[in-house]
A = this chain, B = another copy of it.
Amino acid sequence: MSSLINDSFIKTLQLKKTSYTPVWIMRQAGRYLPEYRKTRANAGSFMDLCRNTDFATEVTLQPLDRYPLLDSAILFSDILTIPDAMNLGLDFVQGEGPQFSNPIQNESDAKKLDIPSMEKLSYVFDAVRSIKEALKNRVPLIGFAGSPWTLATYMIEGRGGTDFLTIKKMAYSRDDLIHHILKINAESVTQYLAEQIKAGVNAVMIFDSWGGALSHHDYEKYSLNYMKVIVQNLNLMGYEDIPKIIFTKGGGQWLKQQVSANPNAIGLDWQTSLSEARKITNNKVALQGNMDPSILLGSEKNIEHAVKKILDDYGEGEGHIFNLGHGITQFTEPEKVEIMLQVVREYSQQFH
């Protein structure tokens, strides 16, 4: 770790002093970049891009080459690699997002589910090794996975962004089946992140994209507790030094509970005030976020204003990683990202 040329992101995760607020962007390697669209056109499908070591390395590095002010790389991959390796029939349907042709529909489907062999996911670990080599320690590399609950929503609903009526109907009538699936997912994610760490990632992030759909009574039971198990087991496996970030989109009302999962950082969306989150989490964890990605569609003046407000909101001291509160939209002009990064770098120095 000490060999990193820019370690501001890792230091912030450790709540150590840096000279400015580090920044990276969720989905920073993506469709808003013309160079990404070009590589994607050569690669074929989205999963073809993930599975090809050279292509995955190329697109991971693209935003870093364009924006020297980025403080971290993130593995180019998808949270659905695990359910894909479980043979649920993943397909990315044009304009409709990911879909599974064999979702879990009943007890028999649930009982057939098993932890996938990590062999099947070796393309991910190969990509990590290749990206690490290409990065030459310029910045750290983040590995990631979906949360057990979030993976389960895709595995049961067959797709994301629904009303979650199918998975909730199962949870509220066959609690045992949901926990059976979540347990398998938690063990799969643990093994998967451990392999990413062995391959060289410097930090890991668990994306709980749909935990925010749960009630305040059920969030811990169905989502947070399983993320907690992953954090604990990675620590027991000897990876205490690898910083862990959890991010429940829409989970800003449950920060106190999230601290109990013992992550190094908590991701926040734009509905949450950083200053209030800081009070609640009491400087025990770093906070990552939280600009609305749509700010980047607006005027330069408003981008500058919004970035400053977020940095002001966090205020003095260490522990803030600037990011968006969700993935960057494909409609963003790359020049707008440059403005955001410059304001973060310049304006944040007074706080450190």
Instruction: Enumerate chain A interface residues (CB-CB to B < 8 A).
Output: 163-165, 168-169, 171-173, 175, 212, 214-218, 250, 252-253, 270-273, 276, 292, 294-295, 297-299, 302, 306, 309, 313, 325, 329, 331
Contact = CB atoms under 8 A, between A and B. Distances in A.
9 contacts: A163-B294, A168-B295, A168-B297, A169-B297, A172-B295, A212-B271, A216-B272, A217-B309, A253-B272
Contact of A294 (B164, B217, B250, B272): B164
A165 B298 contact: no
Contacts of A168: 292, 294-295, 297-298
User: How many copies of the chain does the oligomer comprise?
Assistant: 2
Contacts of A212: 271
Closest 3 CB pairs of A and B: A172-B298, A168-B294, A215-B270
Contacts of A164: 294
Contacts of A214: 271, 292
A75 B252 CA distance: 34
Q: Is the interface of A mostly helix, strand, loop or mixed?
A: loop
A27 B150 CA distance: 28
Given A215-B270, A215-B325, 20 more contacts: A163-B294, A163-B329, A168-B294, A168-B295, A168-B297, A169-B294, A169-B298, A172-B302, A173-B297, A173-B298, A175-B302, A212-B271, A215-B292, A216-B270, A216-B272, A216-B273, A217-B306, A250-B250, A250-B271, A253-B271
Contacts of A331: 165
Nearest to A164: B294
A294 B214 CA distance: 10
A313 B218 CA distance: 14
A305 B51 CA distance: 46
A313 B172 CA distance: 19
Nearest to A301: B173
Contacts of A270: 215-217
A241 to B, nearest CB: 33
Contacts of A297: 165, 168-169, 172-173
Given A271-B212, A273-B216, A294 B173 contact: no
